[in-house]
Structure 1
């Protein structure tokens, strides 16, 4: 049975009015009943301000404002409008362009931008039903992609898409092993939206850390006796490198989920050692594909796999013409969603190129083994074509992460007068690594054409708000002598 997002909130508030849905450490907490009532008052205010059904409303909030954001998000949907979640950390020109592209008729902001509304401006004190009918097939949100390989696109999701798989009763809610679920995902990302819906529909109280630091994150696990946490690989890497997991009692942790980017096998293995009671799970999806995903429980026998489809979804690998390729053959990865699929806002041509009869082109190259496990080879746009070879940056990065002195690593292509492109890498290391030693280490793990011809040592990998490495910015950084040192491998 299809539901609306507002159905989830009203049902939860009626069944468990005092349940704390969301906690922001150092800021406050929000119960289901408060969430439902406050959002109704703000929705009434939006209607009084002339917001009509189907209008887009931009939501610009900082990560310390998760509670106000949650209220504003549900208020927009109760008014029959479409929420456009945006981070307040976007560059002003990007924010203006995104609001313009979405055609937003209003903007709600936590701190109050020029021309925007605040919750205080909007709350009418109304509590109860509103003169608006919202249907499951109505659009609910437009979420903008991270834009690591091009201009960000707005991805439209309906209520039916967002509520697919929602639990009809308390006995079937997700993560019942946990009283608290901890994350530090930013507002305006797909991962952040998943955590918002966990606050609406999952069993645990969701604890949102406003700004990730490894020490504070580990301390919050101990303070809340968190049974579930979600991170991106960059956070997992920092948790291990800092030693924070060893300084705090993390024995309550039973599930660590990693999302937004592939989790390097060496990092997953390190997490398994540091958290012996926890299941380490890697989730593979995209803003376009959600809720379709694959899930991989860490398995040393399959260190490079991102798992098998879950929740009624499917995966296939196809050639350039869209025809499925044999098992073990590399091609384009497609995921199939069991829910109503998403679409690009205002871009029917791009929608046709990515969405096809319930299947979503992921933009990745990969293959499936004979047991249905998916392995990613690379982002299609990141594959390095060097001479007669195609080099997977993921494979190069996996090899670099195995080096005990390397904390973070990213591989990318740089121009070459003969080969066209060669492999370069950027690393963050604990201590200086001699080029000869690094080459000897990699020779056992990579083919000759996969070896980086140049390694840049930098302070930190540049990442976007979703935690993904921004390789366009990385190339620019590595071209600037003031921001790196570089080493030609012998």
Structure 2
């Protein structure tokens, strides 16, 4: 049984218009496969591709197999696949939905105890791994219909959050949520591209968004089993990709490797960054490395999707995160709206059916269709969103509150610093002090960094402790795990 944590907000024309127009996800595939059967939806470097017809036929055959195994409507099915398995994963993810069951994407890199904990948490009755998945089925004249009626409000997917500040939570999404916003066949996203390239892992929100793009967007979605700057840049060049998506960590690696010196990246017209805030200095360098690309920063969360803000990088507004595609508000802790320029909690709302935490009856994250982002921010007079920091990351040092995002942005301006993460550590007098971990191309010292930053930051924002590391600890979604850095600093 699915327990939704949020109270359904009062029906309004905008909301019900989206829900009533939404189709179950399998219907999106069958309808598009009927009109463009040979469109290559998904390509994995070195492993081949999958047309819409093949996706529809293979997933229907696999869905019949699941029904024969006893999988029933509403059952949770864990899908444990790795980066080289995107094709088989896409088939079985769709098969689970066609069978009326709930897909639970999980990375094959999870340690056995963690995998077991998540499987137990969602109550999965079936686990499908790469070795369990059958190979391609022979082509048939038409896929055999799967005899399961699916309501758009049926639960379709449980996706576990990255867990950078605690235990991962299962975020439940309905078919209406995944299929939103509706896509007009003549106005498919990214129509300027024949190919869209990404390297997001299975089991992440960004990876699932790319899978849905393979279903609904104009270009073929191309990925590779394992990201390296050289392989990724070569993939962009070989497919003359018009659209590319990265997370900031990937962008920093691409720039550090100077892939633009060895690969033709001129085909890229849109370079999107997701999953974390893109430091302004990194955005500026991306604009130089991809000379024809518009650099866009996408801000959302696993809980809030498909609501998001989109910001085209603007040197005059380097820290802005743009306007929302749905509803956006800044509010105080008691829910009172904040005024322009006033810092408060960031909330997003989508006209689609909202998500929820699976297995939790109450949560402060969801409220009447709104999603609390866990970030502090403000709006300027033109409605642009600016983040101050993660609410949990703000460093309260003495009488001051320090934004780690602001300090990180300044650190990225240092010519020797390729990556930076800022966090708080205990201090006997101030309560908390500012610490920084950096990946640097040449030796740096705390005194040298403080001198550099003193022209950009206030005295109370300067780091008092410095960790020089070979790499920042990151989760599968590319987000820095700051609790690991705190542990290193305390040691």
TM > 0.5 fold call: yes
User: Is the 8 Å Cα contact of residues 58 and 136 (structure 2) preserved in structure 1?
Assistant: no
Match of 2:100 among 65, 70, 80: 80
- Specify the alignment match of 1:132 in structure 2: 148
- Specify the alignment match of 1:452 in structure 2: 463
Aligned partner of residue 301 in structure 2, secondary structure: coil
**Cα distance in 2, alignment partners of residues 94 and 81 from structure 1:** 23
TM-score, L = length of structure 1 = 0.94
* Distance apart, 1:102 and its partner CA: 0.5
Residues 166-181 of structure 1: pairs in structure 2 closer than 5 A = 166-169=182-185, 171-181=186-196
User: Is the 8 Å Cα contact of residues 245 and 274 (structure 1) preserved in structure 2?
Assistant: yes
Q: Give the paired residue count.
A: 470
Match of 1:148 among 161, 164, 168: 164
Aligned partner of residue 104 in structure 1, secondary structure: coil
Match of 2:177 among 156, 161, 164: 161
User: Is the 8 Å Cα contact of residues 45 and 123 (structure 1) preserved in structure 2?
Assistant: no
- Specify the alignment match of 1:316 in structure 2: 329
- Specify the alignment match of 1:13 in structure 2: 33
Aligned partner of residue 376 in structure 2, secondary structure: strand
User: Is the 8 Å Cα contact of residues 45 and 124 (structure 1) preserved in structure 2?
Assistant: no
Change (3 A) 1:401 1:56: same
**Cα distance in 2, alignment partners of residues 15 and 39 from structure 1:** 18
Change (3 A) 1:35 1:148: same
Q: 2:377 matched to 1:366?
A: yes
**Cα distance in 2, alignment partners of residues 124 and 21 from structure 1:** 17
Aligned partner of residue 260 in structure 2, secondary structure: helix
Deviations 1:251-296 (A, max 9, x none): 1000000000000000000001111210000000000000000000
User: Is the 8 Å Cα contact of residues 425 and 489 (structure 2) preserved in structure 1?
Assistant: no
Deviations 1:22-63 (A, max 9, x none): 010011111100000000000001001100100000000001
Q: 2:72 matched to 1:59?
A: no
Q: 2:138 matched to 1:118?
A: no
Aligned partner of residue 348 in structure 1, secondary structure: coil
Q: 2:405 matched to 1:390?
A: no
Change (3 A) 1:120 1:204: closer
- Specify the alignment match of 1:254 in structure 2: 269
Aligned partner of residue 208 in structure 2, secondary structure: helix
User: Is the 8 Å Cα contact of residues 22 and 182 (structure 2) preserved in structure 1?
Assistant: no
User: Is the 8 Å Cα contact of residues 189 and 217 (structure 2) preserved in structure 1?
Assistant: yes
Change (3 A) 1:166 1:208: farther
**Cα distance in 1, alignment partners of residues 55 and 202 from structure 2:** 17
**Cα distance in 2, alignment partners of residues 439 and 88 from structure 1:** 42
* Distance apart, 1:324 and its partner CA: 0.5
User: Is the 8 Å Cα contact of residues 424 and 433 (structure 2) preserved in structure 1?
Assistant: yes
- Specify the alignment match of 2:248 in structure 1: 233
- Specify the alignment match of 2:411 in structure 1: 400
**Cα distance in 2, alignment partners of residues 73 and 349 from structure 1:** 28
TM-score, L = length of structure 2 = 0.94
Q: Which has the higher contact order (CA 8 A, sep 6+)?
A: 2
Q: 2:257 matched to 1:242?
A: yes
Change (3 A) 1:121 1:250: closer
Q: Which 5+ residue runs of structure 1 have no aligned equivalent?
A: 112-116, 481-490
Aligned partner of residue 172 in structure 1, secondary structure: coil
Q: 2:439 matched to 1:428?
A: yes
**Cα distance in 1, alignment partners of residues 98 and 310 from structure 2:** 32
**Cα distance in 2, alignment partners of residues 64 and 396 from structure 1:** 37
- Specify the alignment match of 1:303 in structure 2: 318
Aligned partner of residue 349 in structure 1, secondary structure: coil
**Cα distance in 2, alignment partners of residues 361 and 459 from structure 1:** 34
- Specify the alignment match of 1:485 in structure 2: none
RMSD (Å) for aligned C-alpha atoms: 1.5
Q: Which 5+ residue runs of structure 2 have no aligned equivalent?
A: 1-20
* Distance apart, 1:120 and its partner CA: 5.2
* Distance apart, 1:393 and its partner CA: 0.5
Deviations 1:55-101 (A, max 9, x none): 00000000100000000000000000000000001111110000010
* Distance apart, 1:130 and its partner CA: 1.4
* Distance apart, 1:210 and its partner CA: 1.3
Identify which range, 175-184 or 238-247, moves more after superposition: 238-247
Q: 2:360 matched to 1:347?
A: yes
- Specify the alignment match of 2:198 in structure 1: 183
Deviations 1:306-332 (A, max 9, x none): 11112xx01111001011111101110
- Specify the alignment match of 2:453 in structure 1: 442
**Cα distance in 2, alignment partners of residues 362 and 123 from structure 1:** 46
Residues 204-223 of structure 1: pairs in structure 2 closer than 5 A = 204-223=219-238
